[in-house]
Amino acid sequence: MDLETSLTTLSLNNSPSNVNSFAVSIRGNHTEIVLSRFTNYINLIITQFEKIGNLYQIKVDQPDNGFVISDPIYTITTVLGRDNLEAEVAARYLTEKLKIRKPLLLSLSLKDFSKSTLNCVIELYKTIKTHSRMALVKRTKKGETHFGQIVIGPPGSGKTTYCGRVYDFYKDKLNRKVEVVNLDPANENMNYNPKIDVMKLITAEDVMRSLNLGPNGALMYCMEYLEENFDWLLCQLLEIKDSYLIFDMPGQVELYTHHGSIKNIFEKLEKLSYHLCAVHMVDSHYCSDPPKFISTLLLSLSTMMQIALPHVNVLSKANGYIYGSGEERSMQALLSCAVGARTESERFDADYM
C-alpha cells in the first residue's frame, strides 16, 4: 500500500484542505513525508520503511476556558504499534519544535532517531508548508477578481454599525451578493452574521488573560497572529464566490498608523486580486471644533499613508451632531463650523450690520 493510499484508508471524517508529499534522502536513508492538513487536525506520516509505523495521537492541551497558550503542552497517546520510548520521544520533539496547534495524528517509522535526522525532518516539514502555501496562492490567482471595503477608524466611531447597515443595503436594496468578514477579535455587538469571524481563530479576551496583556497589546498580538495565519483567512475567503466583501476591523488607531500587520494582510490580499477600498469612519462630533477637526484630518492622512489603499472618509453619527441654535442644518454648515469658516449669513452680519 503506498502512502497516499494508506492516508485515504484512515477513517477521517473531514475533507482535507490539502495533501502534500515529499521524498528526500536524510543521512543516506530514503525518507518520505506526507502531510494532510484538515480543518480541525493535521495528519503527518514520516517513514523510512515505505509503510506506516507507530501511530501517535497528539492532543494540544488547552484550558477549557479557551485561553491561548504561547507554548502548548502536548499529550501523546500510542494508537497503533508497540511501545517504543525512542519513537515516542522523537514524536514529542517533533511536535514541540513544529509548535503544532491542531490535534495531530503522527505516523513515525524511522531507521534513525538521531537529533540531526529529526532536525532534517523539521526543515522538510517547513518546506512542505511553504510549498502548500504557494499552491494556495496559485489557486487564488487563477480565480476571479474580488471587490470590497475595509471599514477602519477610531474606537467607537461606528464601524460595526456601518457594516451591518451597508450589508443590509447591498443585500435588500441593491440585491447584490455581499458578505461581512469580522476581523475584530474583540467584537461584541455584531449586528450582522459574519461569513468569516476572526474570533473563531483568536479573541482579544483570551490573549489578555493568557499572556497578561492589556487591551491594546492583546489587539496587536491578535493581528500579528492573524498575519501569521494568513492561510486561515485566505482558505475561507476562497470559499466565498462572487460576493462583495465588507471587512469589519478593530478600532485601535495604532493598528492603522504605525503597526504593520493590517497593512501586510491587505497588501497580500491586494496581490491576490482582492480590490479593496478603505472606508475610514470619523465621528462627526470630531468636526465640531477646529482642534479636533485638525487632529482627525491628520489621523486620516497618516492612516491613508500607512494602509495605502483607495481611501474614503465617512462622517458617522451625523444624526447625533448637536447643531447650535440657528445653525444651518446641512453637512456644508457642519464642515464650515469645524474649520471655523463663516457661513454666508455670518459674513453678511459681520460685514454689513
Applying CB under 5 A, the residues found at the interface with Mg ion are: 159-160
Kindly give, in sequence order, each residue whose CB lies less than 8 Å from that of residue 201, ignoring residues fewer than 6 positions away: 185, 225, 226, 229, 232
* Residue 191 Cα to chain centre, angstroms: 20
Using CB under 6 A as the binding rule, the residues of this chain from 243 to 262 that contact ligand GTP are 251
Q: Does 159 bind ligand GTP (CB under 6 A)?
A: yes
CB under 8 Å to 270, separation ≥6 — which residues?
Answer: 276, 309
Residue 317: name its binding partner from Mg ion, ligand GTP, none (Cβ under 5 to 8 Å by kind): ligand GTP
Residue 189 in contact with ligand GTP, rule: CB under 6 A: yes
Amino acid at 302: S
* # binding residues, ligand GTP (CB under 6 A): 15
N residues, the chain: 353
Ranked by CB distance to ligand GTP, the top (closest) residue is: 251
Which lies closer to ligand GTP via its Cβ, residue 31 or residue 316?
316
Contact code string over 305-324 relative to ligand GTP, x by CB under 6 A: -----------xx-xx----
Grid look-up 491587505 returns 266
Q: State the binding partner of 161 from ligand GTP, Mg ion, none, CB within 5 to 8 A by kind.
A: ligand GTP
Tell me: does residue 212 bind ligand GTP (CB under 6 A): no
Nearer to ligand GTP, 109 or 316 (CB): 316
**For the residues of 238-274, what is the DSSP string, one character each?**
HH--S-EEEEE----THHHHT-SHHHHHHHHHHHTTE
Which of 184, 197, 205, 206 forms a contact with ligand GTP (CB under 6 A)? 184
List 63, 66, 143, 156, residue binding ligand GTP (CB under 6 A): 156
Beta strands in the chain (DSSP E): 18-26, 29-37, 42-47, 54-61, 73-80, 104-109, 146-152, 178-182, 196-197, 244-248, 274-283, 311-316
Say which DSSP state 311 is in. Answer: E
Q: Which residues bind ligand GTP (CB under 6 A)?
A: 153, 155-161, 184, 189, 251, 316-317, 319-320
